[in-house]
Structure 1
Amino acid sequence: MTVQPEGAPCWADAMFGDVEGAKTFYGEVIGWTFGESSPEYGDYTLAHVDGKAVGAVLPPLPGQEEKPQWCLYLASEDVAATAARIRENGGALLMEPTQVGEFGSMCMAREPSGAVFGVWQAGTREGFEAMGTPGAYAWAEVFTREPEKADGFFSAVFGYGQKRMEDEGVDFRLYDLGDRPLLGRMRMTDDFPPEVPSYVNVYFTVADCDDAVAKATKLGGRLRFGPMTTPFGRFAALTDPQGAAVSVIDVTTTEGETPKTTDVS
């Protein structure tokens, strides 16, 4: 694939205390196979579908033995410049811009409402080698208790336009670049336990949502929501056996009309 434009989702990975357990779970539920780990890069292990890289798993770095969570990376043409904008707009850098061999450069950040994300400047590794097909990345949403902070931050740092969904039942926005929707933003309601921080929810495509849910629960995962059919696909929100939130979606099974949106850029 070509290098993604500034601010577009381009990669996802997660740290797991039990990497082999994660491989078993995601291999069964999403259909991933795994390459050899790279000891020189912290045993980073690529996940593949049909030979194409679609994500990665790795063990925790020393001092980072926290609950696993999927990290979405947003593309940058200049990671140092993006890091500067993150600071200028109230974000925090968790990892300063770092060169990752010939593959590219990265940093890790937390936006002002608390969601963690990564930034990736491509070198020889551009990011996802497949998107929107079974086993590959589909979509992501920023879940936040302070949507005004997230909205202002992401637009300032990445230049996103914003559209508000015309639904009185939810506070949801689309972040876009021109006509291309890139991310969703959802206000967290009281349905979320107070100890759950803001986070980025990553969706992976599956051929059959119900089958993926059945496999996930059999392997010790927990169903948090769904399966539910929407105009965008049939999806379910899961927690994997190690505590990482992840969603699966069958984009071929749809129902209903696409909700109307209003430009609020």
Structure 2
Amino acid sequence: MTEVGNRHPHGTPCWVSLLARGVEATQEFYGRLFGWEFHPGPSSLGTYVRASLNGKNVAGIGELPRDRPLPIAWTTYFAADDADKTAELVRGCGGTVGVGPLDADDAGRLAIALDPLGAVFGIWQAVHHRGIETSGEPGSPVWNELVTRETSMVATFYSLVFGFETQHVVSTDFDYLTLQLDGRPVGGIHGVGRGLPRDRGAHWMAYFEVADTDAAARQVVQLGGSVLRAPRDSAYGRVATVTDPEGAVFTVIRTEPLPA
């Protein structure tokens, strides 16, 4: 297979994918919320569709296998130059590989893994499918953040596996750091201690850009979802944490432009 050109650098969050019980109903929800259009994904993944904005891929939605008690949740995928070598690194650094590595037709090669504290993430070696093709416009993924007990140990794991550098937010009561590649922040780790949800454990949170956070939160409810944390201002924009009708948690954000 010929490798795709201009693929995301190793370690970059390059895709977000959701496993749902009802793919058609889930498409309806996200299509109305984000303006996504859908087209078939790799047949080897079963019932699976790719979501796009203006013809550019932004996310995937697949059907949850009925014989697997997996959570309904968004999964963040990280780009890998070699999925098999990265999977071995995951194992060697204290993580677990739950699925794969395996080929997704001619789109690429993937694996699903867990970090040492149990957060699920994906590994993606692109071939004919690069991953996310646009970011910053409403409806597109703009950030990925690991919510976990504490940052130090798990940050070491991700740095060893993907080559991240880390930068801590200096605060006496806020355990947070950014993961960086070539000096550019590509993700975050938020240590919440006892604030970690018991029903979810450690997890990666996908953030999606919206034009109006308050309006998006209202629309989520109108479409059958729920609001877990009401719209609020943050250092990076106005955010709200919500769920789709099946309970998959994600965050919507109206990002603030960086100062000139």
Q: Do both share a fold (TM > 0.5)?
A: yes
SS at match of 1:190: helix
2:110 corresponds to 1:114: no
2:45 corresponds to 1:41: yes
Distance 1:158 1:196 in 2: 24
User: TM-score of the superposition, structure 2-length normalised?
Assistant: 0.92
Alignment match, 2:165: 161
Q: Aligned-pair distance for 1:178?
A: 2.2
Alignment match, 1:127: 131
Give the 4+ runs in structure 1 shifted more than 6 A: none
Counting aligned pairs with the same residue, the percent is 32
Change (3 A) 1:28 1:47: same
Distance 2:120 2:243 in 1: 18
Q: Deviations over 1:2-22 (max 9, x none)?
A: 311110000111110011221
Q: Deviations over 1:148-174 (max 9, x none)?
A: 331110011111111111122311110
Change (3 A) 1:38 1:182: closer
Runs of 5+ consecutive residues of structure 1 not aligned to the other structure: 258-265
Q: Aligned-pair distance for 1:224?
A: 1.5
Q: Which moved more, 1:29-38 or 1:41-50?
A: 29-38
Q: Deviations over 1:109-135 (max 9, x none)?
A: 000011000000010111111112111
Q: Aligned-pair distance for 1:229?
A: 2.0
Alignment match, 1:261: none
Q: Deviations over 1:54-98 (max 9, x none)?
A: 101111125224331001100000111101110110010001211
Q: Aligned-pair distance for 1:147?
A: 2.7
Q: Name the amino acid aligned to 2:198.
A: P
Alignment match, 1:67: 71
SS at match of 2:98: strand
Alignment match, 2:90: 86
Change (3 A) 1:161 1:225: same
Distance 2:226 2:72 in 1: 15
Name the Cα RMSD after superposition: 1.8
SS at match of 1:234: strand
SS at match of 1:128: coil
Distance 1:25 1:188 in 2: 30
Distance 1:109 1:142 in 2: 14
Q: Aligned-pair distance for 1:202?
A: 0.4
Alignment match, 1:103: 107
Alignment match, 2:227: 223
Distance 1:252 1:139 in 2: 13
Distance 2:221 2:209 in 1: 17
Alignment match, 1:262: none
2:192 corresponds to 1:188: yes
SS at match of 2:14: strand
Alignment match, 2:213: 209
Q: Aligned-pair distance for 1:41?
A: 3.1
Contact 1:53 1:130 in 2 (8 A): yes
Contact 1:17 1:65 in 2 (8 A): no
The size of the alignment, in residue pairs, is 255
Runs of 5+ consecutive residues of structure 2 not aligned to the other structure: none
Distance 1:230 1:18 in 2: 33
SS at match of 1:66: coil
**Structure 2 residue corresponding to 1:26, chosen from 24, 30, 37:** 30
Distance 1:83 1:48 in 2: 28
Distance 2:152 2:128 in 1: 36
